[in-house]
Amino acid sequence: MQQPTPTFQLTKDNYHSREANQHYMSVSQFKQAMTCEAAMIAELKGEFTRPHSTALSVGSYLHAAFESDEAFAQYAEENHDSIFKARGGKYADYEKADEMIETIKNDRFCMFALEGEKEVIMTGELFGAQWKIKVDNINHQRGFFTDLKSTQELAKRYWSEKYSNYVSFVQAYDYVLQMYVYREIIYRNTGRYYNPYIVAVTKESPPDKAVLHFDSERFSFESEYIQLLLPSMLEAKAGTKNGHRCEKCAYCRATKQLESSFEIEYLLD
């Protein structure tokens, strides 16, 4: 299932389709399977759909603003009713997003870090799987790529089981893992290791912003982490084993059938 068939051509239009996700591993699929393999497989089969998230739509709006004026106008037109109130003006989430867009546009360094080709799709092999990536911004002349991220505040701490430590939003949302995969797949396409950057903008009023780079030593941990978890995910995708159930997510709660009782001690993680 992870090998692309010659009949499947990955394009901008089918990039997020179920068929594309069946053929390719992606960072978002990997992250979903880190939480729950069973839910990831159910979604691939069309048996489960994740609930709609406003945060995700606002993220797409933000990205469209930096892709091109045409992409932004098209996004606003296609999602008119979720962006604009019937009585005029935009809903609060989009008013906030506009403020975040202005914050980035008014900072010359942020805009410098976002110079390049937008929404670039690439595929490549990594640890026995074919991956697909869509890079927010890539600059071949200067050898870097950029991802645009919104977050609550730059210095917020999150507890991470993965790192066994308090971490920033960048590790908490596995953006280091994302940058590692993108860097490897870009290398397979260009023969060069590009430098990853994150342009981060906060939802505060007024928004804060930062351009972040990564010490390359961080990537060896992510490489080992992916090699540890990927084989099981690929087996689940190939149907040679059942995906591991987390027993906590929406999919697991909806499909759970109890077989025994457990001692109250095990209620807490």
Integer angstrom CA distances of residue 258 from 38, 178, 243:
17, 36, 18
From CA 256, how far away is CA 252, in angstroms rounded?
6
Closer residue to Zn ion in complex, CB, 50/192: 50
Considering only residues 18-57, where is the footprint of Zn ion by CB under 5 A? Answer: 36, 39
- Total residues in contact with Zn ion, by rule CB under 5 A: 5
CB of 2: closest distance to Zn ion in angstroms? 21
Count of all residues that appear for the chain in the document: 269
**Residue 210 engages Zn ion in binding (rule: CB under 5 A):** no
From CA 249, how far away is CA 251, in angstroms rounded?
5
Closer residue to Zn ion in complex, CB, 105/248: 248
Closer residue to Zn ion in complex, CB, 40/177: 40
**Residue 167 engages Zn ion in binding (rule: CB under 5 A):** no
Query: For residue 130, with 0-12 CB atoms within 10 Å meaning exposed, 13-18 middle and 19 or more buried, which class applies?
Result: middle
From CA 246, how far away is CA 24, in angstroms rounded?
23
CB of 117: closest distance to Zn ion in angstroms? 37
Considering only residues 222-251, where is the footprint of Zn ion by CB under 5 A? Answer: 246, 249
3-state helix, strand, coil in the chain (%, to 5): 45, 20, 35
CB of 249: closest distance to Zn ion in angstroms? 3
**Residue 252 engages Zn ion in binding (rule: CB under 5 A):** yes
CB of 43: closest distance to Zn ion in angstroms? 11
Binding site for Zn ion (CB under 5 A): 36, 39, 246, 249, 252
